[in-house]
Chains A and B, each alone.
Chain A
Amino acid sequence: MLVYLARRVVYTIPILLGVSLVCFALVHIAPGDPLVSVLPPDASAELQAQLRALYGFDQPYIVQFLRWLGRALQGDLGTSIASGRSVTTEVVTAVGYTLRIAVLATLIGFFFGSLFGFVAGYYRGSAMDRIASFVSVLGVSVPHYWLGMVLVIIFAAILGWLPPTGKGDESSLWESFRHMILPAVTMSVIPMGIVARTVRALVADILSQEFVVGLRAKGLTDAGIFRHVVKNAAPTALAVMGLQLGYLLGGSILIETVFSWPGTGFVLNNAIFQRDLPLLQGTILVLALFFVILNLLVDMLQTALDPRIQRS
């Protein structure tokens, strides 16, 4: 198990290197001048050159990349052009905010997704199945920013139960939780739909297998068989959940913008519009890192749950 873990950790190095190269390249291929947001429109050519040299934009790309990579390895992702603050600090703060609603959204999505999936899988072809399938398709296909706005209209504007936007007063745990509910619920419909469809297919497949007949032949009741179905479905369902958490960590640009939630999506959005290259690069790299780590964790969990996956 330890050898397996070590090998998997080593495998992540080339992945991260590739990701950093791709995100560096993407950011630089995009047209536009990174200094446009900090320079006054009438800045002199001299001032432009000076700033360019200060940020290192005058160097060849390969030098820029290696320098950036070297600093990134030491935890320094540069300085945001727009705010002048450390990118690392900005990203870590944003990830913290996104993590909160992403985890909450994944938990909500996983709970309801599994519930719908199990009901649909168990009662295939019934009205319950059709309702559950309809809800899950709706979850995947509805535009989330639209759903966010609808929820704001209903729960904030009309009913006044929950705050519409922002992160709230963070000294009060209850207040900040109330602010998380709407964005998290909006975000949860994505994993909910995907988990529901996955679990439905899994349950249907498991129930059609011969060993379920074997379990009945042992005298197990439906409750006893349910335990087996859950354990058989768990590795795949958890893997899907982990991947969904990874996607959500990227923050939904649209959802975070609708709710003015200061997470990674919000930061990315601002970085793109302000052409804040260091911030953009840094955020993408950190998100990729999270995604890779999460994948690793999911794999470990699957290995622990499913004896058929070789541990060698």
Chain B
Amino acid sequence: MSAVDIRDLRVTFGGVVRAVDGVTLSIERGEVVALIGESGSGKSVTLRSLMRLHPPRATKMEGTIAVEGRDVLAMTPRALADYRGPIVSMIFQEPLLALDPVYTVGEQIMEIILRHEKVSRKEARARALALFERVRIPSPERRLDAYPHEMSGGMRQRAMIALALACRPKVLLADEPTTALDATVQIQILLLLRELQRDLGLSIIFVTHDLGAAVEVADRIAVMYAGRIVEEGTARELIRNPRHPYTIGLLKSRAHGVMEKGTRLDAIPGAPPDLARLPPGCSFAPRCAAAIESCQIEQPPSFVVEGGHRARCFRWKDAPAQLGAQALGAA
């Protein structure tokens, strides 16, 4: 049984905005999968769907989501509340916004423990302290009594991770956990996540727009564009042998190695489509240099490149050569 099994997930906001449009993804136990894509590609929406965190009245969710064998979309509110925390929990992008400003971080960690387990306050506090030590927060005893605004960004994200791990979840969702942090702190947090994942056997879904961060922690990468997964495969395959023109574009738009001053980065031309009016064919076609006529008319199916490596592109065989992807693998 997979830790997470998403089948043909469709999420529509306000009846018109198709934020997620047929995502199928499965994550094995102990596996780290990165969802990458630009803003509005549906990666965070997919992630939040796993905990059903969207406002229920304005959101329509179709398809199936199974987490540790539980049918998430069929859960009653009570079952959903019991599921959030001990089975799945989430690390948010900006802990300063995701933590309640008027409670200390210690109280907030104790709160989730007391919510899900029958333990005394004293025990809950001891657990919170142990978690702070686990995520290597210096002088943890004192920091438990700090308010979120009294901590530094990196420290807050560690506290957020401690909070997320408080009820020993099986699946951890990380929503751009390093985006709001300094570059040096980003690496520390990524290494911490990787270490915790190994020690606790966690399955992690990690949303980011940073390919470097994805490669650093993920076993597998799924690239999202306009609400669909356009390419997925192991981190290695995707970097060495990208097949979808969008993945190739993302790889080319990174600054790698030492760049001459004045060298231009290859940005992907154009802008992502309006999710309320998606084109009938491939949604990347309007921006794609390798697009052919059928791309405008028909949605490409998911082609198997090799093993678990799949790409949703009619031209997956010859587009990489045309777009000069080979040079990337060597770089």
B-contacting residues of A (Cβ < 8 Å)?
209-211, 213-221, 224, 228, 231-232, 305-308
B115 touches A214 (CB 8 A): no
A219 touches B85 (CB 8 A): yes
Residues of B47-84 at the interface with A, using a CB-CB cut-off of 8 Å, are 48, 51, 53, 77-78, 81-84
A215 to B82, CA, bound (A): 13
Closest chain A residue to B83 by CB distance? A219
B84 touches A308 (CB 8 A): no
A221 touches B81 (CB 8 A): yes
B83 touches A228 (CB 8 A): no
Taking CB atoms, residues of chain A closer than 8 Å to B100 are 211, 214-215, 228, 231-232
A232 touches B101 (CB 8 A): yes
Taking CB atoms, residues of chain A closer than 8 Å to B84 are 216-219
B89 touches A217 (CB 8 A): yes
- Give the number of chain B interface residues (Cβ < 8 Å): 33
The smallest C-beta distance from B177 to any residue of chain A, in angstroms, reads 13
Closest chain B residue to A235 by CB distance? B102
A218 touches B99 (CB 8 A): no
A217 touches B102 (CB 8 A): no
Taking CB atoms, residues of chain B closer than 8 Å to A307 are 101-102, 104, 147, 149-150
A-contacting residues of B (Cβ < 8 Å)?
48, 51, 53, 77-78, 81-86, 89-90, 92, 94, 97-104, 108, 111-112, 115-116, 147, 149-150, 163, 167
B97 touches A209 (CB 8 A): yes
Taking CB atoms, residues of chain B closer than 8 Å to A218 are 84-85, 89, 108, 111-112, 115, 163
Taking CB atoms, residues of chain A closer than 8 Å to B103 are 228, 231
Closest chain A residue to B84 by CB distance? A219
Taking CB atoms, residues of chain B closer than 8 Å to A213 are 48, 53, 92, 98
The smallest C-beta distance from A147 to any residue of chain B, in angstroms, reads 37
The smallest C-beta distance from A210 to any residue of chain B, in angstroms, reads 4
Closest CB pairs A-B (n = 10): A219-B85, A219-B84, A214-B98, A210-B97, A218-B112, A307-B147, A217-B90, A219-B81, A211-B100, A210-B98
A305 to B101, CA, bound (A): 11
Partner of A211, one of B85, B97, B147: B97
The smallest C-beta distance from A61 to any residue of chain B, in angstroms, reads 50
The smallest C-beta distance from A239 to any residue of chain B, in angstroms, reads 14
Closest chain B residue to A216 by CB distance? B53
Taking CB atoms, residues of chain B closer than 8 Å to A220 are 81, 111, 115
The smallest C-beta distance from A151 to any residue of chain B, in angstroms, reads 39
Taking CB atoms, residues of chain A closer than 8 Å to B48 are 213
